[in-house]
Structure 1
């Protein structure tokens, strides 16, 4: 949902409109623009996904901050996870400063304040999450702020955030919304605790978020033919037997889950005009199917039509 596009406003009102929106939506009280009023541009899109708020911000260079005074004033008990989607910028927290490049993730702890900026035209994706849902001690959150970019869980969260943004307009508020909020919360917990907190907290969080991390990893590597139970188990430092039991306890087969996601990916590619020049076999291979006949059988069994029929129906 579009909240603000300063290009729709008279030039004399643009900076003031953004300042007002930043204060109301993000609890920001420091705003400095890189460009003069007549050249500054800012667009903000916002989605309320259950208890989670997702932001997409685009525009010319700027610097924003949340001072300790503002943090004490509005008492926002929340964290924000920010993805630098375009351009280069910076993040600061107390005496910690970090340069941000494309796909850099930053963790913002609202009760402590922060500084965030980029230069030139840039964009960011961010979500705001109530800390009560994280069940992570405040000390662990604060300890993670300067070092969380080193966590290997970050790449899973980056891709999850991009995927969340891709489907935000189509969410209806049904059961899938709650599931997405839970998955986002669990990945954020795992990201924070992987670099901060005591061993007991890390072990508990790793155990509680294991299935979320397994499925996030599988989604990230669906196109790779060697993706399978052994590889997934090895990456997550568990046995294949433990992996199977984890999925069975949640009511699904891992192999069938992977096949279904690959079939859905292939179906989308078959319908895409940009893939019209690719053969069905080429698309099937790009989604990990080495046997074209097997792919065709599974596709028809799942969707009720052959891959070729689906391509003609969808106009791909």
Structure 2
């Protein structure tokens, strides 16, 4: 949902309008706008996924600062994960400095304070949740901030956030929005726990989030025809038998779940204008279907129509 597009405002009013909108949505802060030849420009969008809020901020350079003093005047006490799909941002917290590009992320704890910003044109996508909802010890969250680059969960969470943002208008109003929020928070807890010292909290979180991590791994590798149950089990250091039992306890068949997600992706691409030049076989192959006949048969069984008919009717 669009909150603000300062392109609709006079140049002198843009900085103040963005500051008011950003503070209203995410809490008390200070913002320095980078001067641009045509004037500072920002577009702010936000979506609600149950207890989690997703934000997209696009535009000219800026630096946002949240200090412990800001937190004292703010009723919000939140944990945020910040990604940077466009541009290269700088994140700073308590002496820790890092750059965040399309393949990285930053973890922020509001009461600890932080700085975040970029130069030139950029796009930041972040989600925020109340610390009580996040449910992890504050000292563990803060200790994770400087060492997240060591975690194998980072690319899974990035892929997940990109998927949410890419279809946020629809997903935020879908009945599954609360489940998507729960999966997002489980992946984030797994991220924090994965770089924590071994102990009861880490082991409990690892066990509680295992199915979520497995499904996130599968989503991130759906296009790979070499994605097999054996590879999934190996990536998570569990036996094939344990993988099947985990999925069964979660109420799903792994193979059917994979095929259904691949079919959904192919079905969307078949009617997407950006893929209109591609053959049906090419689209199917890009979603891991190496056998055209198998793809067509499963597509018809699932949707009651052939891929060719679906593309023709949708066009």
Question: Which runs of structure 2 are paired with 1:1-316 in the superposition (5 Å)?
Answer: 1-35=1-35, 39-171=39-171, 173=173, 175-315=175-315
CA gap of 1:295–1:247, structure 2 versus 1, over 3 A, is: same
Query: 8 Å contact 1:11–1:37 — kept in the other structure?
Result: no
CA gap of 1:314–1:173, structure 2 versus 1, over 3 A, is: closer
What is the RMSD of the two structures over their aligned residues, measured on CA atoms? Answer: 1.6
Query: 8 Å contact 2:68–2:113 — kept in the other structure?
Result: yes
Q: Name whichever of 306-315 and 214-223 sits farther off.
A: 306-315
- TM-score, structure 1 normalization: 0.95
| In 2: Cα distance, 1:284 partner to 1:85 partner | 27
CA gap of 1:22–1:172, structure 2 versus 1, over 3 A, is: closer
| In 2: Cα distance, 1:172 partner to 1:110 partner | 24
Query: 8 Å contact 1:28–1:65 — kept in the other structure?
Result: no
The size of the alignment, in residue pairs, is 315
CA gap of 1:258–1:270, structure 2 versus 1, over 3 A, is: same
Q: Name whichever of 233-242 and 41-50 sits farther off.
A: 41-50
- TM-score, structure 2 normalization: 0.95
Q: Matched residue of 2:103: which SS?
A: coil
Query: 8 Å contact 2:49–2:172 — kept in the other structure?
Result: no
1:55 positional shift: 0.5
CA gap of 1:225–1:37, structure 2 versus 1, over 3 A, is: closer
Which structure 1 residue ranges, 5 or more long, are not aligned?
Answer: none
